[in-house]
Structure 1
């Protein structure tokens, strides 16, 4: 499971539509759809109901969404911490 797959999942879950999520992520629809299918395959269950109007979370998707958001928040916090630490490093004499 890659961070890209998790980001893709969250975007589709929040937008409810692959096209809008693709625009939000600056991707085209086919790779985004592949990310979602790959994630569902890895988890062994569908996360979305595909409807003519978009994508609706299934119970498994709803259960995964909170975890996915926490994962992305932790990654953002780690990046922030590392960047701050790099700025705060005293120079060697």
Structure 2
């Protein structure tokens, strides 16, 4: 499972639409759809219901979204921490 797959999942979950999520991530739809399919395959469960108008989270997707957002927040915090430490070392 890659960070890119998690970011893709969160974008689709929040937009409820692959096209809008692809634009948000500066991707085209085919690679974004592949990210979602790969993630679902790895997790062994469908995360979305594909509808005529977009995507709707299934219960497994709703459960994963909580963790996915937490993972992204932790990665963001780690990046900020490292940049802060690196900034302190180069200026001190």
May I ask how many residue pairs the two structures share in their alignment?
A: 92
More helix by percentage: 2
**CA distance in 1: counterparts of 2:90 and 2:5, whole angstroms:** 37
Deviation of 1:69 after TM superposition, in Å, equals 0.1
| Consecutive unaligned residues in structure 1, runs of 5 or more | none
SS in 1 for 2:27: coil
List structure 1 runs of 4+ shifted beyond 3 angstroms: none
Q: Which runs of 5+ in 2 are unaligned?
A: none
The answer to whether structure 1 residue 64 and structure 2 residue 64 are counterparts is yes
The Cα shift of 1:11 comes to: 0.1
RMSD over aligned Cα, in angstroms?
A: 1.2
Aligned counterpart, 2:20: 20
1:91: Cα distance to partner?
6.4
1:33 offset after TM fit, Å? 0.0
